[in-house]
Structure 1
Amino acid sequence: MSPDIVGAALPLFVGLPLIVAGILVMTGHRLRLHAVISISTMLIMLLGAFGLVYHFSSTDGGAIAHQVGNWPVGVAIPFVADMFTALMLSVTLLLTVVSMWFAHASRAANSQYFAPLVLLLSTGVNGALLTADLFNLFVFLEVMLLPSYGLYVLSANRKLPVRRIHGARLYVTLNLFTSTLYMVGVGFLYGTAGSVNIAILAEQAQHDSAVAIAGAVTIFALAIKASVVPVHGWLARAYPGTSPAITALFSGLHTKVAIYAIYRIYAVVYGGDTRFLWIGVVLFSLTMLIGVFGAVGEKTTRTILAFHMVSQIGYILLGVALFTELGLTAGIFYLLHHMIVKASLFMSTGAVEVRYGSGVIGALGGISRTEPVIGVAFMIAALSLAGIPPFSGFVAKFMLIVGAVEAGEIAAVVVMLFVSLITLLSMLKIWTGMFWEKGSGSQATKSGTVITSQTRDPYAQEVSYTPELATEATRAQVSTLSGTQTIIETDESTVPARRINFALAAPAVTLAIITVVLGIGGQFLLSLSGIAAEGLYDTTEYVQAVMNP
């Protein structure tokens, strides 16, 4: 297909979900129709993203750009795509489809505004990945965040109002602050360089200290959004406040778009300037360490996994801190792998939380006996996160370690190996506390079930029982008030042994299968990541595409 035709189609990744979202708002409370149309729209865009990947693989890289309205460069809204963009579009759209599936299966999508908000979120994500203008990046980030606030509140756990209010307040405040800080940096860039088009700013940070400082402000704001140490604490406190479906969706989109932007800005505006790389190596190594240590003392699955998100973000960003072709290849591969694996983990533990009412370690137990499929899905994703072969996490970590050795960053290698061990231990903690050992916080009588809270976490779900003791009446009437004991009269009929149905388990299983495929057949994604890394290491074609669309 002609590059001109492909370039002209790029704005459809923004326009199509925006138009469909508006149409769905006007259709009212027709949830089945919303689900069919919204998921179909996402699948169409996913096919388009796969088409971009095929195009760039067949041309061995390059870039395609389109100036909306054919206005001059620097005035028009520039959309540009290369292999890195195409890969990110593919994975983010895939995760959005799977997350919507999980949301409908878990009944987190029971609102007429759910599908339109997800489509608006996808509009912002796609625009942020495609734009080559730093001001337009701000606009698309806001387009991405505004529906996220709505999704957070619509899907929040209403039985835990303290967590919901606390998490929503923190999430909104943090993002408003970072957006303001980002705009300060953009204004500083425009005042010093006269443009915020990154192609016009290409490599100016290497020669102009004012541009370098202004660019650093924008990168710092993006680092907050990405949850990099020392501005990382918000993520583990905000993400668990909403439903498991929205936590999984956000884990694959929000921080990852910020990471993508950091890669892109440092590659183009700074030209991979080696003078500042040591700062990244130090910060991202600390992010690995502090994130994994933060997970050690947590008692709920989602807070443990959220802290591990912080830790793994350190691994991903280490690729740009190395800034060699091998380091960038490993970082990109790690980014794509992590998006899939982390979403799978949130969905497998989320399926348990939805059906059994708790995510507190030790409150449940023996889940793998009654839910073997979801147990296997969790174990596969957990081992992949820890970097155990033959899963995709092993390929990602091995390549990143090789890249760090090649760059002479031996201290970073030691940190990666140590953090991998602690990650494995944390995953085993969830496995033994939720999937293997029997829960210790429940008792049963012939006349009813006694459910007692043992956790000290004021925001945690305080339901505590094992699958063997659960009944239909218990599931329907369980209390989640902190520090209470609820006695529920039940009949003698027990729930069938398997309570997580196919629709709820399938999203986590699907993503777990993908991580196996990417581990065994990792060379395919590595080759695509290598093409993407070449485009970052040498941005000449990217800049030329923007300047001469």
Structure 2
Amino acid sequence: MTSEMIGALLPLLVGLPLLVAGLLVMTGPRLRLHAVVNFATMLTMLGAACGLVYYFWAHDGGAVAHQVGHWPAGIAIPFAADMFTALMLSVTMILTVVSIWFAQASRAANSRYFAPLVLILTTGVNGALLTADLFNLFVFLEVMLLPSYGLYVLSANRNLPLRRVHGARLYVTMNLFTSTLYMIGVGFLYGTAGSVNIAVLANQAQTDPTVAFAGAVSIFALAIKASVVPVHGWLARAYPGTSPAITALFSGLHTKVAIYAIYRIYAVVYNGDTRFLWIGVVLFSLTMLIGVFGAVGEKTTRTILAFHMVSQIGYILLGVALFTELGLTAGIFYLLHHMIVKASLFMSTGAVEVRYGTGVIGALGGISRTEPVIAVAFMIAALSLAGIPPFSGFAAKFMLIVGAVEAGEIAAVVVMLFVSLITLLSMLKIWTGMFWEKGSGGPATKTGTIITSATRDPYAHEASYTPELATEATHSQVTTLTGAQTILESDESTVPRRRINFALAAPSVILAAITVAFGLGAQFLLALSGIAADGLLDTTQYVQAVLTP
């Protein structure tokens, strides 16, 4: 296929999920049909994204674009893609497919609106990754956010109304604020440069201080969305308020799209201007440190992982702050690795929450004895997050450290090494508190299963409750622990050895296997990331593709 033909197909990655979402709404509450069509649509787009990766790999880079409606370049709605875009599309589609699977298995998808909302969310994600217009980026970010509000509320913890309301309010408020701030920056850009087409704005921030300031406002808004210090605290408070499935899905989409946009804008509009890179090095190093320290004092798995998500965002963005070939390559590799690993961690600990009713460290213990598959999946992803070989996290951190040394940022290297150590200790905290040591209840003790008091509700105390848990134990005594929990004491012989079924365990296992593959096949993925980095260092082909009628 020619580049023109491929470019003409780019709008389908935006239009197809939106069309399917509308059709599913009209079919009514046919959940099985919704699930099948949702999976089929996502797999189709995954195939298309992988095809884009192959095309750019075969052509050693380059870019393709399409002007929607065939209006003149600079006025039309432009969609463009290069290797960076293709890699992001592929990994986001992998993550979305696996998250849908986990949502189905954990019963978070038991709503007629779940599949349409996920499809509309995918429309926004694909549009944000493909657009070459900063105003249209705002539009697609809003398309992402609107269904996200619905997914958050549909899957939120109904048994803890205060947490649900607080988390939803914080999530909505912060995103509305950042959207407003972003639009202020875009308005400044249009007022000073006369265009919001990213190709028209190419290199202007280097020569025009007003363009540089306006672009900085937009980048600051995106940094808030990405949860960069000092505007980071909202993420760790908002994400645990919904179900584990939605937390995992959001972890790989919202912040990562913002990071992608920061990479793209700084590469094209600022042309990697070295005058401002020191600001990024300082902020992103602080993000690593403060994020990991925030995790130290937390007592639930998802809040710990959410703070680590903040910390790892500092690593990812350090690549653009270095803005060298090696730094960008490492940053892009780290971005792809982190999307997979973080979702795997949310899903492995989320599977425990779904079946055992809690994510509080120490409330359960010895899960590894009854759930060895989940324990192994968690350990693999945790070691990868900490940067232990042979997993993908080691290759990502090693390349980023080498890139920082090459750029002379020794302080950032020290921060990365220190944060890696604290990250490993935090992962061991979850491992010992949930998977290894005996806790106050759980499969390793005679008091069997921790179950919430509200057995009618599908979500209770940090996770989904499934009625099967209540039938697995024959009670001899019910002891109330708190207003939110009760322990159903049971004879140890009545507790099955494995309670997390294949459907619920498979998503985290699949993503853990991918991080192993990324680690063992790091050379190939680094080669693809290198092509993507070259496209950011030299944006000529991308700009020409966008400006070509």
The answer to whether the superposition gives a TM-score over 0.5 is yes
Inter-partner Cα distance in structure 1 for 2:18 and 2:429: 42
State the distance in 1 between where 2:124 and 2:50 align. Answer: 19
Letter in 1 for 2:295: A
Q: Which amino acid aligns with 1:408?
A: G
| Aligned residue number for residue 396 of structure 1 | 396
Q: Which residue of 1 aligns with 2:529?
A: 529
> 1:38 corresponds to which letter in structure 2?
N
DSSP 3-state at the match of 2:284: helix
Aligned equivalents of 1:451, 1:355: Cα separation in 2: 9
CA distance in 2, matches of 1:421, 1:486: 36
Alignment of 1:106-255 (within 5 A): 106-255=106-255
Deviation at 1:461, TM superposition (A): 2.9
Code of the aligned partner of 1:42 = M
Partner of 1:49: 49
* CA–CA distance in structure 1, aligned partners of residues 271 and 497 of structure 2: 58
Distance (whole Å) between structure 1 residues aligned to residue 390 and residue 447 of structure 2: 49
User: Residue 82 of structure 1 aligns with which residue?
Assistant: 82
Instruction: Check the 8 A contact 2:480/2:486 in 1, yes or no.
Output: no
Q: Aligned partners of 1:166 and 1:497: how far apart in 2? A: 37
Equivalent-residue separation in structure 1 for 2:481 and 2:341 (angstroms):
32
Q: Which amino acid aligns with 1:421?
A: L
Over 3 Å counting, the alpha-carbon distance change for 1:251 and 1:260 in structure 2 is same
User: Secondary structure, in 3 states, of the residue corresponding to 2:69?
Assistant: helix
Give the match for residue 386 of structure 1: 386
Q: Deviation per CA, 1:456-487: give whole Å up to 9, x if none.
A: xxx99389xxxxx9962589x99999556746
Q: How many correspondences in the alignment?
A: 538
Residue 285 of structure 1: CA displacement?
0.1
Q: Distance in 2 between matches of 1:490 and 1:26?
A: 47
Alignment RMSD (CA, Å): 2.4
Quote how far apart the aligned CAs of 1:363 are. Answer: 0.2
Shift of 1:491: 8.0
Amino acid at match of 1:506: A
Contact 1:344/1:512 (8 A) holds in 2: yes
Distance 1:502 1:485 in 2: 26
Cα distance in 2, alignment partners of residues 405 and 247 from structure 1: 35
Read off the aligned partner of 1:275 and give its amino acid letter. R
Q: Quick check: 1:104 aligned with 2:88?
A: no
Summarize deviations over 1:25-48 as a string: whole Å, max 9, x none: 011111110000011000000000
Residue 60, structure 1, aligned to residue 68, structure 2 = no
Partners in 1 of 2:340 and 2:525 — Cα distance? 13
What is the DSSP-based 3-state SS (H/G/I as helix, E as strand, rest coil) of the residue aligned with 1:515?
A: helix
- How far apart are the structure 2 equivalents of 1:64 and 1:479? 64
The whole-number CA distance in structure 1 between the counterparts of 2:434 and 2:310 is 22
Shift of 1:451: 7.6
Task: Please say if residues 461 and 485 of structure 2, whose CA atoms lie closer than 8 Å, have aligned partners that are also in contact.
Answer: no
Q: CA deviation at 1:193?
A: 0.3
- What is the aligned partner in structure 2 of residue 316 from structure 1? 316
Gaps of 5+ in 1: 454-458, 464-468
State whether residues 443 and 450 of structure 1, in contact with CA within 8 Å, keep that contact through their aligned partners in structure 2. no
The aligned counterpart of 1:418 is 418
Task: Report if the CA contact (8 A) 2:481-2:487 is conserved.
Answer: no
- Report the residue type matching 1:395 in the other structure: A
The separation in 2 between residues aligned to 1:382 and 1:447, in whole angstroms, is: 28
Distance in 1, matches of 2:242 and 2:500, equals: 20
Contact 1:222 1:262 in 2 (8 A): yes
Separation of aligned partners in 2, 1:219 and 1:154: 31
Contact conserved, 2:357 with 2:451, CA < 8 A, in 1? no
Paired residue secondary structure (1:70): coil
Q: Structure 1 residues 174, 338: CA separation in 2 closer, same or farther (over 3 Å shift)?
A: same
Q: Which residue of 1 aligns with 2:274?
A: 274
1:470 and 1:494 in contact (8 A); partners too: no
Cα separation, partners in 2 of 1:18 and 1:299, compared to 1, 3 Å = same
Q: Judging changes above 3 Å, is the alpha-carbon distance between structure 1 residues 128 and 34 closer, same or farther for their aligned structure 2 residues?
A: same
Partner of 1:337: 337
- CA deviation string 1:48-99 (max 9, x = no partner): 0000000000000000000000001122110000000000000001100000
Aligned residues of 2:367 and 2:443 also touching (Cα < 8 A): no
DSSP-derived class of the 2:64 partner: strand
Partner of 2:456: none
CA contact (8 A) 2:474 2:491 kept: no
Distance 1:398 1:163, change over 3 A: same
**Matched residue, 2:29:** 29
Letter in 2 for 1:239: Y
In 1: Cα distance, 2:478 partner to 2:188 partner: 54
TM score, norm. by length of structure 2: 0.94
Per the alignment, in what secondary structure is the counterpart of residue 79 of structure 1? strand
Whether the 8 Å contact between 1:182 and 1:221 is mirrored in structure 2 is yes
C-alpha contact (below 8 Å) 1:3/1:64 kept by paired residues: yes
Deviation at 1:171, TM superposition (A): 0.2
Deviations 1:196-241 (A, max 9, x none): 0010000100000000000000000000000000000000000000
Match of 2:498 in 1: 498
User: 2:192 & 2:33 partners in 1: Cα distance?
Assistant: 50
Superposed displacement of residue 159, structure 1:
1.1
* Residues in 1 aligned to 2:55 and 2:170: alpha-carbon distance in whole angstroms: 42
Structure 2 gaps of 5+ residues are: 454-458, 464-468
Matched-pair contact (CA < 8 Å) for 1:348–1:508: yes
Query: Which whole-Å deviations, capped at 9, do the CAs of 1:435-454 have from their partners, x for residues lacking one?
Result: 0001135799999989899x
8 Å CA contact 2:356, 2:450 repeated in 1: no
Assess if the C-alpha contact under 8 Å between 2:452 and 2:461 holds in 1.
no
Q: 1: CA distance between counterparts of 2:189 and 2:203? A: 13
Distance change in 2, residues 1:273/1:445 (3 Å): closer
Alpha carbons of structure 1 residues 485 and 231: separation in structure 2 relative to 1, 3 Å:
closer
Shift of 1:495: 3.2
Distance 1:301 1:114 in 2: 25
Contact 1:471 1:495 in 2 (8 A): no
Contact kept? 1:391, 1:516, Cα under 8 Å: yes
Distance 1:474 1:157, change over 3 A: farther
SS of 2:527 mapped into structure 1: helix
Give the secondary-structure state (helix, strand or coil) at the position aligned to 1:201.
Answer: coil
Q: What is the CA distance between 1:160 and its match in structure 2?
A: 1.2
TM-aligned CA distance change 1:210 to 1:482, over 3 Å: farther
Once residues 499 and 199 of structure 2 are traced to their aligned partners in structure 1, the CA distance between those partners, rounded to angstroms, is 54
Change (3 A) 1:492 1:507: closer
Deviation digits for residues 180-203 of structure 1 (CA, Å, limit 9, x no counterpart): 000000000000000000100001
Following the alignment from structure 2 to structure 1, what is the Cα–Cα distance between the partners of residues 53 and 523?
A: 15
Distance in 1 (alpha carbons) for counterparts of 2:411 and 2:447? 60
Q: Which residue of 2 aligns with 1:303?
A: 303
**TM-fit CA distance, 1:521:** 1.1
Q: 1:460 to 1:206 in 2, by over 3 A?
A: farther
Contact preservation (8 Å) 1:471, 1:494: no
In the TM superposition, what whole-angstrom CA distance separates every residue of 1:134-181 from its partner, at most 9, and x where no partner exists?
000000000000000000000111111111111000000000000000
Does the C-alpha gap of structure 1 residues 16 and 484 become closer, same or farther in structure 2, counting only changes over 3 Å? closer
Q: Where does structure 1 differ by over 6 angstroms across 4 or more consecutive aligned residues?
A: 442-453, 477-481, 489-493
